[in-house]
Amino acid sequence: MTKFNQNNIATCAVIGQPINHSLSPQIHQSFAQQCQININYHKISGDPDLFEQQVQQFFDEGGLGLNITLPFKERAFKLATNCSTRAQIAGAANTLWCNNAGQLHADNTDGLGLVYSLNRHIAKASKQNILLLGAGGAAKGVIQPLLDAGHQLTIANRSIEKLPLLQQQFPKISTSIFAKLEPIYDVIINATNTSLTKEILPIPTNILKSTLCIDMFYNLTQTTHFCQFAKKYDAKLQIDGLEMLVGQAAASFLIWHKVTVNPDHTLAKLQTTPRL
């Protein structure tokens, strides 16, 4: 099974539902240009009834690497024969590839993307007191990388029954309910869906003052709902999930093509559109 077509172009793709909005093709093409390799990176509209077959078909047809986005990350993880520790901890995968024996490998690079974003805005090697809002797939993917970087981490989630399990899995974290959060954090990361649904998080607003706020959600043309909320309550800086997206893509690119790219250049190109 070859991973390149006759013009020596590697085929990669992202699969999700919905998928039209995805910036992954632009990002990966920009990386490929940077290191002068030829890739064909396309979008696949995931079918909830046929996801596993779609993945199989992609690799049967010689695909090199597949990114997975909502809502298939858990199914991608279950499908793989070999999963990285990062993917196992998250129970979800955003990066798939096949080895020469045809075995499916999975990794989760979301945490690396988040750490890339965070490191752009904090002093090098500084340890931050971080609050992570949410306990879904994206939150789980970033917990271990944040702990590995030496940060202190508190997790708060709407459904409090998820918190004891997380505490058991990650003994170094603290947990809290939204209402009891205190204004003690340097960094607040929104890993809930509230920027998508435009709901207000029921957190004490005084915790936002003077913090660095990172929303995992992104919108190329508009300031996200959480970033607007954070600004209103005097956060020091609000960053949306575009940086994280580019950072996780760079980590996938390295896995597939064995080339390290500088995400800053690609990010700068995407950030030329001013947010409203």
Residue 186 DSSP SS3? coil
Question: In the bound complex, what is the minimum distance in angstroms from residue 106's beta carbon to ligand NDP?
Answer: 15
List CB contacts of 181: < 8 A, sequence separation 6 or more: 131, 154, 156, 203, 204, 207
CB of 105 to ligand NDP, least distance (A): 20
247 vs 174: CA distance, rounded Å: 26
167 binds ligand NDP (CB under 6 A): no
Say whether residue 104 binds ligand NDP (CB under 6 A).
no
Closest approach, Cβ 117 to ligand NDP, in A, equals 8
Report the DSSP beta bridge partners of residue 152: 129
According to the binding rule CB under 6 A, does residue 90 interact with ligand NDP?
no
Q: Which sequence positions are flagged as catalytic? A: 73
Member of 87, 98, 139, 230 binding ligand NDP (CB under 6 A): 139
| Token representation of residue 274 | 């001013």
- Asked if 245 interacts with ligand NDP (CB under 6 A), we say yes
Residue 158 found at the interface with ligand NDP (CB under 6 A): yes
State which of positions 50-79 bind ligand NDP (CB under 6 A).
70
Tell me the C-alpha distance between 99 and 88, whole Å: 19
Piece of the chain touching ligand NDP by CB under 6 A; list 15-23, 50-58, 166-174, 238-246: 238-246
Residue closest to 227 by CA, chosen among 215, 218, 243, 219: 215
